[in-house]
Structure 1
Amino acid sequence: MGRKFIAERGPKVSKDRQPNNDRKTRDVRYTLDEAVEIFIRAKEAEGIRSSTIKGYNDTVRYFKDWLSAKVHFIDDISATNIREYINYLRTERLPYQGDTQREGTTKGLSVYTINIRLRNLRTIFRFLSTEGIIRANPTSNIPLVKDDAHEEVQGLTDLEVDAILASYEDKLFAQWRDKTLVLLLMDTGLRINEALSLAADQIDFKELAILVPSQIAKNRKHREVPISREVAKRLRQLLDETQQYFGDDCQLFMNAYGEDFTADAFRRRLNRLKKRLDIPKLHPHMFRHTFARNYILNGGDIFTLQKILDHADIQTTRKYIQMDKEHLRQQHNKFSPVRRLFNKNKGL
């Protein structure tokens, strides 16, 4: 009997070895948890920041809570599932659900929040599709949610700022610390995590500058941010007090128990203050927007502002400069060309 050999590669099948129709190819199938773990490990290997990793994990956790028992394997998640989830977030999900201090009563998350979650899901599924872990990307044809009524984040009015600062009792450490933090944010435009991570060696009291290291900055570039002499003086006082109570190695902003003061803790305190002062919205990022708007109103230029805010794209900086009706009236009254003509030529 002659020996068999393969002359050409290809889909040809030997006559005496027909395919067994009862044998099916068994693909490796991943659960949602298994697939996401592969994604997270890959992102950690890329050096993605822990805060970004947390965002991905939170997004998946919210999605899993909604999915419940609908699907088990990640390959079974369809575009229909994604669209149904988006509709749930728009019309049924309660803002801050589970947070007794912040939980809202109006159903439906903001378009901004929904799109953050959708962007994260798109990133995850695009990776899994590229890696061959899923056959098709269920988010490939799903656009971000649009909202014609969406407004950019507004800064605080002058009256709101005055009310906030007047509400703090300087004799109480926690309130004096909060007031100092508010003044720092409105003086520098720092992001809340950049401000709360400040240590003594990041503040140059002589040159009146704050160093934001690359490992903290959002764009991974270190920068120096100028501060006013008045705010620097308060920071010096706060640093002296915290070091006196908690040691020289402590951060600038600490809670009354000697633990790091966190962004979430500050948000909760602002939420209580918002209710007490009857302010519609109050969260840390509004102080950054307030700084940006007032910087321009006081004569600063947008290019310098871009550097201070650490924006890679100046279009992002433009979005921060949101002026209310009163600011528009003030600026028009100050710079109207026709008004200047009337002032110059009294006979018009």
Structure 2
Amino acid sequence: MEKFKQEVDLYIQFIKLEKGLSENSINSYKNDISRYIDYLVFQKKISDLSGVTLTHIEDFLDYLIDTECLSTSSLARNISSIRSFHEFATVEGFSKANPAELIELPKKAKKLPEVLDVVEIEALLSSPNTEKPAGIRDKAILECLYGTGMRVSELTGLEMDRLFFEIGFIRVIGKGNKERLVPVGEVAQEAIEHYVEHVRPLFFKPQKADKSKNRVFLNQRGGALTRMSIWNIVQKAAKAADIKKPVYPHIFRHSFATHLLEGGADLRAVQEMLGHASILTTEIYTHIDRSFLHQVHKEFHPRA
């Protein structure tokens, strides 16, 4: 049970720092997963995530339906919590496979992800104080998040030998250790190169080289940056830029995809850059794009 607790605690930290969920949503996820783990331990006598099967999950969902009388939205949230938890456990190496992968959500309207507009992005990217070394690093991080659309976990794990700036690409190691080449624009590339040349050597500590594993982005003590570090950097930038809406690391990824589609990018190209296994995952951004098109039509068409 103690091992499960540690894994759940790490998962809750992950959704808090990377997903930018509200405190209420985090508590809901925590309650869902805690109830799920209790069922596995006490009803199914499971002692390790590797022992969980699709049948166990289906039995738990049947148990919820029979005992809790959940609404469709509540059941969908429980399924989403379980799928997300097992996906996290697989990526982090707590289990070898995701038994929840084939569980389908009840059909309901998709919630569109929040995005920042171009003006807000510009304000965020220009907010770090580049007179200081940490500000130069922070600007490079923000430019990298928006310029590549990579996940926070991909950014914190980025290593020096994955920068191929001579051809304008970064090699990203994504979920399930899947690799992809992501193009990086001139502005982001210049910010990262400036940091690597002038600031990273100041932060680098030879005695911590093994621990930081040749990571691109370091803290001032020479260690690799964590998700919490990136969260704090983003929050500091949002405060300095006076952005009123909630800002969290993953919103850069949403904005990256949305702005590409608004500019006319091909959906499959965006899918490739985001590292989505299915184009259905990427299609959520086309709804935002259609909203943008409707706005443009309403604003400029004489008969709108």
| TM-score normalised by structure 1 residue count | 0.56
**1:219/1:312 contact within 8 Å kept:** no
1:329 to 2:286 alignment: no
Deviations 1:15-62 (A, max 9, x none): xxxxxxxxxxxxxxxxxx39x87xxxxxxxxxxxxx999549999985
Q: Name the structure 1 match of 2:264.
A: 299
Distance 2:148 2:187 in 1: 12
Q: Name the structure 2 match of 1:74.
A: 43
RMSD: 4.6
Q: How does 1:102-251 map to 2 (within 5 A)?
A: 114-119=78-83, 151-212=111-172, 216-240=173-197, 241-247=199-205, 249=209, 250-251=214-215
Between 1 and 2, higher relative CO (CA 8 Å, sep ≥ 6) is seen in 2
Residue-pair matches, total? 250
Q: Name the structure 1 match of 2:273.
A: 308
Report how far residue 157 of structure 1 moved: 1.3
For residue 187 of structure 2, what is the amino acid of its counterpart?
E
> Identity, % of aligned pairs?
22
Report how far residue 188 of structure 1 moved: 1.4
Report how far residue 176 of structure 1 moved: 2.7
Distance 1:200 1:177 in 2: 14
**2:203/2:221 contact within 8 Å kept:** no
Change (3 A) 1:82 1:197: farther
Q: Which has the larger radius of gyration?
A: 1
Report how far residue 282 of structure 1 moved: 0.9
For residue 257 of structure 1, what is the amino acid of its counterpart?
R
Change (3 A) 1:83 1:117: farther
Change (3 A) 1:289 1:68: closer
Distance 2:190 2:86 in 1: 46
Unpaired runs of at least 5, structure 1: 1-32, 38-50, 91-110, 124-138, 340-348
Q: Name the structure 2 match of 1:344.
A: none
> Matched residue of 1:73: which SS?
helix
Between structures 1 and 2, the one with greater helix share: 2
Q: How does 1:280-295 map to 2 (within 5 A)?
A: 280-295=245-260
1:266 to 2:242 alignment: no
Change (3 A) 1:63 1:57: farther
**2:8/2:33 contact within 8 Å kept:** no
Change (3 A) 1:156 1:70: closer
**1:173/1:256 contact within 8 Å kept:** no
**1:186/1:288 contact within 8 Å kept:** yes
